[in-house]
Amino acid sequence: MPILMRTSTKGIGYQLVDLTTDDEAMKQVVALGYRQAPVVVAGDTHWAGFRPDLIAGIKDPA
């Protein structure tokens, strides 16, 4: 998946969540207004799909 490759290359930590098995995560994604995956949530920012322009702006909180 391009998102995982890009975040790994930048050294950004992430948590992969399977929306088909995690009902609460699915509810959160739908509440954000998304109907497709992948959905990226980085602090207060979120988006769906592969967005290298937005990934470039992520600062790893670690």
Domain count, the chain: 1
Q: Which amino acid is at 29?
A: V
Task: Indicate whether 62 belongs to any domain.
Answer: no
Taking a C-beta distance cutoff of 8 angstroms, is the pair 60, 14 a contact? Answer: no
Q: String of b and e for 16-48 (b: at least 16 CB within 10 Å)? A: ebebeeeeebbebbeeeebeeebbbbbeeeebe
Task: Indicate whether 61 belongs to any domain.
Answer: no
- Its domain, for residue 33, covers 2-55
pLDDT for 9-60, tens place per residue? 888 888 899 999 999 999 999 999 999 999 999 889 999 999 999 988 887 6
Task: Indicate whether 60 belongs to any domain.
Answer: no
- pLDDT value for 46: 95
Task: Indicate whether 34 belongs to any domain.
Answer: yes
- The CATH code of the domain that includes 48 is 3.40.30.10
- Could you give the CA distance from residue 48 to residue 37 in angstroms, rounded to a whole number? 6
Q: pTM value?
A: 0.77
Task: Indicate whether 45 belongs to any domain.
Answer: yes
